[in-house]
Structure 1
Amino acid sequence: MSIRVKVASTPVELNHVYQLRYQVYVEEYAYMQANPQRIIMDMFDGMPDSYNIIAYDGETPVGTIRVVIDGALQLPADQMYDFNQYRSQLILQNHEQNLPPPLLANSGMFAIDANWRNRRDLFRALFKLSCDIGEARGVTDIITTANIETLAIYKRMGLKALGAQVRHEHISVSMVPMHCTMQQITQWAFGGPRAHTKLTELFSESFEYLLVSAGTPIFNASEENAEEAYLISSGAISIAMDRADQQQHFDLATLTAGELFGESCLFDEQGRTVNAAAIVNTDLLVLKKQDFWQKVNKDPSYMKTILKVMEQKLRDVGRRALIYAHASQQERLEFFLEQLSKTAKPMLKKPHQRVVRMGGHAFSVISGVERDESQAFLEQQALTGSIGLTDKSIIFYSEAR
């Protein structure tokens, strides 16, 4: 199963956004009045600094959120609450610290199909993409008005109330004005501070995520018109090759967070030569060939970035091949644990500890070592105090090397 999260850019996608809002706000909760068009939209949807994010399960729209950057009309949240005093405080605070003036944004119009509300990864992915947009635009602070019934969710995300609840008669709901910094909401969305690398720079402003369940194919060798490269945000991907003439299956590599794959399609018109599939539930950033070349034509230095990334990847592939071919089982396990350590993210409440959301079974698959042996290795590492171990995560206590 896979879910694609992207910025709505076509009339059909925008119409899906407006229809999904109607489905939730009118048909399900009766917050707003019904209308013949069966859509919910307002003046901010037509603004150039407005981004409507849409999530699809196949062809079915399942979630949406809107990000609006501060402009001449201010923000949708300003229609429900007077944030001017708080805006002035932020401006004065930045001035006193010799910082540039703050840039505010509003996230709202949040709607998820009832059948998909148990998918935490979908909920978080919508906000991840919101954060990507905010960071790309230089947003410093988020303001919003939260429904009193969902206030606890917003507090867990790091937002704080700026005042008492206000009754919004148009939608017959009590709303609470809230604020957080861009850094705070980003840390919540990504589970800790974001690591900025050449690869994340390469995928900045790609504005598209693919959420895939364990076992889901990403692409296979029969795909002829490949148009996308992928960066693993979290999870793990298996790269393999099938030789029909020899009836053989070759496991070529297992990739984890921070690694790139499928990038050859950016430079040629040939089809895929390998298969890629998710080993565990995995989040991918997507870079389309068309967007890549638009960036290259706009800024030739962009090409240098990906060439440097690919050069480093070739070196890593060579090292990985030696490990697969010649390393002992112990050396292989140590190598892959070290690789995971490099991708571990600081824990929100214990930033001195870093975590990878991956259990023993996935580690067994990545290392290519039988489950019993790989589990025994992890448990031994836990006994020495170098890692912590749960059914679904590995916690690193030492700094990444």
Structure 2
Amino acid sequence: MPIRLNIATDPVQIDSILKLRYDVFCLQEKLFQPTTDQRVVDRFDTLSTTRNILATRDDRIVGALRINVDSSAGVPADDYYDFRQHLPKENVNMMSVGMFCVREAQRSLGIALHLISLSAYFAVSNDITHVIAPTNPAIGKLLGRVGFKPVGDLRYDPHLGGNFIPMMLDMRDLADSFLTFAKRTQLYNFLQSYEYMLFNAGETVLQAGVKGNSAFVIIEGEAEVRHAESGAVLAVLGEGQVLGELALLTDDTQSVDVIARSHLQTMVLPKDTFLNHLRTDPDHTLQMLHSYAHRMKTVLLGSGFVANLS
């Protein structure tokens, strides 16, 4: 099943995240003592500066991460280490990440890295300069891949129930292939949609006859465009190409099936965001039309309906 990552938007999702924390931190890892309501929550969960990123698979939450933008109330990381001694004196906009949890059965699916990456997209689009995290040593290398660096030695905290490494990301050091890709393909402003989908090879991305409400930009991997009846492969799409945009432009159902040819990473572009972008960025609109025309030429030539198209 595809994995969807997005920022939690309603109380039901938030409550499911609190239950997930309980399952992971209290039952699986035994870091915290069990609670009668079977939820893990603290005062920072009530703040307006808090966001939760969740990963769902088959309509079940399998991973989550909490973001806390700095405010007069502080951030959770302040309770564990004096990160502020490592921050510049001026022009700092800081946030912390924590409450990082993934169900044990899903830890081999790469969800952890994508949760961290989505938090980085949030940081970029909100002009964050530094991200701090009291980090479980088990995921220290994972954060290092994104650009986090240790700012202190390994230490023990009784509240966390184990050791942690204080780590910090200076956003100028961010190492993320998608952010580079977003800049190169003029999709940088789509970061604020904060939605990301992962497909395994053979999974359906778009189905013919179904009305779509989103387009997808391929970040990594390939997808096959297939004839709805014969199953013939009409085109193969890769990095930077958009899936499902025609149905959004015509307000119609999908005319073809799109199947992941390999492990496929995509960014979801909601219909309103997608159409507004095309209205306000004519250069990118022309670029997308050129890409679509090239794809149609490939499809028509491959179908045998025309001998040549130029």
Equivalent residues in 2 for 1:198-237, closer than 5 Å = 199-201=186-188, 203-223=190-210, 225-237=211-223
Structure 2 equivalent of residue 103 of structure 1: 93
SS, match of residue 233 in structure 1: strand
Structure 1 residue 14: Cα displacement: 1.0
| Larger deviation, residues 19-28 vs 195-204 | 195-204
**Are the aligned partners of 1:199 and 1:309 in contact in 2 as well (CA < 8 Å)?**
no
* Higher RCO structure, 1 or 2 (CA under 8 Å, sep 6+): 2
Unaligned ranges ≥5, structure 1: 93-100, 327-401
Verify the 8 A CA contact 2:222 2:264 in the aligned structure 1: yes
What one-letter code is carried by the residue in structure 2 that aligns with 1:213?
N
The equivalent residue for 1:252 is: 234
Q: How many residues align?
A: 304
Number of the residue aligned with 2:71: 71
Could you give the per-residue CA deviations for residues 168-190 of structure 1, whole angstroms, max 9, x where no partner exists? 222322322211222434x1x43
Corresponding residue for 2:244?
A: 262
Q: Which residue in 1 is equivalent to 2:291?
A: 313
Task: Classify the secondary structure of the residue corresponding to 1:91.
Answer: coil
Task: Tell me the C-alpha RMSD between the 2 structures.
Answer: 2.6
Given that residues 50 and 68 in structure 1 are in contact (C-alpha distance below 8 angstroms), is that contact kept between their aligned partners in structure 2?
A: yes
Equivalent in the alignment of 2:156 = 167
1:231 and 1:286 in contact (8 A); partners too: yes
User: 165, 183, 188: which is aligned to 1:176?
Assistant: 165
Cα displacement string for residues 183-229 of structure 1 (whole angstroms, at most 9, x for unaligned residues): 434x1x43884451455235221111110000111122121x32111
| C-alpha contact (below 8 Å) 2:182/2:188 kept by paired residues | no
Counterparts of 1:263 and 1:214, CA distance in 2: 21
Amino acid at match of 2:265: D
1:265/1:253 Cα in 2 relative to 1: closer, same or farther (>3 Å)?
Answer: same
Q: Is the 8 A contact 2:278 2:284 kept in 1?
A: no
Percent of aligned pairs with the same amino acid: 24
User: What SS does the aligned partner of 1:267 have?
Assistant: helix
The match for 1:272 is 254
For residues 215 and 79 of structure 1, do their structure 2 counterparts lie closer, same or farther at Cα, with a shift above 3 Å needed? Answer: same
CA 311–145 in structure 1, closer or farther in 2 if over 3 Å, else same: same
Letter in 2 for 1:134: A
CA contact (8 A) 1:202 1:306 kept: no
In structure 1, distance between residues paired with 2:154 and 2:101: 21
Q: Letter of the aligned partner of 1:226 in structure 2?
A: G
Q: What residue in structure 2 maps to residue 126 of structure 1?
A: 115
Runs of at least 5 residues in structure 2 that lack an aligned partner in the other structure: 305-310
Letter in 2 for 1:129: L
Residue 167 of structure 1 aligns with an amino acid whose one-letter code is: Y
Instruction: Kindly provide the amino acid, as one letter, of the partner of residue 25 in structure 1.
Output: F
The answer as to whether partners of 1:198 and 1:305 remain within 8 angstroms in 2 is no
Given residue 2 of structure 1, which amino acid in structure 2 is its aligned partner?
Answer: P
Q: Work out the CA distance in 2 between the residues paired with 1:192 and 1:221.
A: 31
Looking at structure 1, the residues matched to 181 and 289 of structure 2 have their Cα atoms a distance apart, in angstroms, of: 23
Deviations 1:301-352 (A, max 9, x none): 53646633432223432564587589xxxxxxxxxxxxxxxxxxxxxxxxxx
User: Which residue is equivalent to 1:137?
Assistant: 126
Alignment check: 8 A CA contact 2:197 2:265 kept: yes
CA distance in 1, matches of 2:187, 2:50: 23
1:287 aligns with 2:269: yes
Looking at structure 2, the residues matched to 150 and 300 of structure 1 have their Cα atoms a distance apart, in angstroms, of 39
Report the 3-state secondary structure (helix = DSSP H, G, I; strand = E; otherwise coil) of the residue aligned with 1:127.
Answer: helix
Describe how 1:2-401 pairs up with structure 2 within 5 A. 2-87=2-87, 90-91=88-89, 101-120=91-110, 122-185=111-174, 187=175, 189-190=176-177, 193-197=180-184, 199-201=186-188, 203-223=190-210, 225-243=211-229, 248-292=230-274, 296=276, 301-302=279-280, 304=282, 307-317=285-295, 320-321=298-299, 324=302
TM-score normalised according to structure 2 size:
0.87
Does structure 2 conserve the Cα–Cα contact (< 8 Å) formed by 1:236 and 1:256? yes
Give the match for residue 386 of structure 1: none
TM-score, normalised by the number of residues in structure 1: 0.69
Please give the alpha-carbon distance, in whole angstroms, between the structure 2 residues aligned to 1:303 and 1:149.
43
Distance in 1, matches of 2:23 and 2:6, equals: 20
